[in-house]
Structure 1
Amino acid sequence: MTGLKARWRDMTQSAADLVGVLRRSGTEPVTLSPQQYRTALRAAIAGAVVLVAAIGFGLYQFMSLQQARAQEALHEQQLQLMREKTASLQEKMDKMDALDQELRQMVKGAGTGSSPKGDGGAAGAQKKGPDLSSADYNDLLLATARLETKTNARIISFITLKTVLSDTAGLQVRQMQQVSAQYASSTTPSIWPAYGTITSNFGYRGNPIGGGTGFHEGLDIAVDYGTPVQATAAGEVTAAGWVDGYGNLVEVDHGNGFVTRYGHNSMVLVVVGQTVHTGDILALAGSTGRSTGPHVHYEVRVQGTPTDPLLFLP
């Protein structure tokens, strides 16, 4: 580049000398010698080459800058995608933590009053993960490392809980199914949905949530978390899911105007349209919906009218 600049200066000087000769000549015809013509031609060509080189260099710099900006934008998009994916994994891990706590409550057999307050089955307040909305690459690496550690811990915990529940709840389910086998074809409510202490009877009572009085359309039976809830007669499942107030609800139509309801479950084990027999397990007891402790809210409706369940219990 330095040699090219020096050559350009020499040619520029030659061209200037040529211009000076032309100016001194005035209006007289100018005759260029072959040497002067070649010098002028070289100067013009050199100028054009330098101009083209400068334009090309400028275009190269502009394109490089544009490419760098495009790569930076792509990097930011990829980083944002990593933030969203990591945040999604963190949210799922929070739910797994809550499930782990609830399963432990089930294993412990937590008594009435020590349960969650009708928050949909999550045991206690969930500990939220860190905010990753503006996390950089290093922050995301740290978050994923923590998630990996917590995932390994949860796997070990779930394996342990599975072993314990297989030995306890599984045995309890089998015993209840054996006891109720003799009533399997009955369509009239005739057995207990679960065995426990009655904490609230059918009829008017003080409202345990919000105060005041109200009519209680069923029977509350205090049980441990995870206690199997069984159908009190054969029939067809007409509701199986979340219903305001009831939390996780199962409803069974037994025909002949008989309908039973089982509320506040921690987990529903049947689906709408399923045929069940007396003693079949419908759900696991919990404290979802408007509830202050783990129990089974049991209703019997005859021709659509709530009826005292004690009239049908042995």
Structure 2
Amino acid sequence: MQIIVVSRHLKSARTITIMPRHVLGALAVFFVLVFLSSAFFSFISLHFRLPIVENILLSVQQQETRQTRDYITNNLNLMATRLGELQGRLLQLDTLGDRVSDLAGIKPKAADVAEKPGQGGPFLPAPLSATELQQEIERLATAVDRQADDLAFMEFKLLEKRVEERLMPTTLPVKNAVFGSGFGYRNDPFAGLRSRHDGLDFAAPTGTPVVAAADGVVLTASYHQEFGNMIDVDHGDGLVSRYAHLSAMDVVESQIVRRGDKIGAVGTTGRSTGPHLHFEVRMLGVPQNPATFLKRGEDFARLQRR
């Protein structure tokens, strides 16, 4: 950029050429002057304690202090609220844990039930600091997590107990039947000699429904030379129930059955002297007394006996 200067004092016109570096230099000098002026004014103001400047600084400090105080107060209020929530949650979990442990049949640890020593004295408030409040929150959060883990374990035990009960043959396989031969030794009805009887006999008219004593999978549904029409139901872990001398079989091998499902009908097939159901319970192939399981049900006590 060029500037032409014309004056009556000058014999001829002058031309001034302004380069980019000249502009940059002028801007730099301008900013330096502004900075020095501001610094000088600040120094004079602070040194001579001008009222206007002091008021401005005091106002700024008060505003910063107020903002900091509000921030701390809000955080403390939030932390106190969180602490109260954790305390309430822990109390609820403790109460729920006691009820669930009773249902699950799990006794709490001795340390948990031990009585605390006596305490007393006047109430002297001692507010927690921010650090102590944070530590208390962390302690309660840990206690809540631990209690939640204990409840999860008890839930698992309840589920396990429920599954065991579903798979335990406790339902009477024939309703309104008459109790016949028991488990153990007896005189054989055909030979008249002492023999072993590995199950229970339930006498009922031919065609009376026979139901599954528990949940399971049909292991066998076929004809046996001595047991006649026979159904074996696998309940898992080596536990099997057997239903023999049936007049009809309503299930097939590998079929899933539920407790109380009709699986057949009373009959007198095989080595039998009359219509009845021969019921067995075996654990890993070893005969067990079915009465031990059936007594856990509600119908066994009302069973008619000869």
TM-score (norm 1): 0.41
Higher CA-based Rg: 2
Q: Relative contact order (C-alpha < 8 Å, sep 6+): which is higher?
A: 1
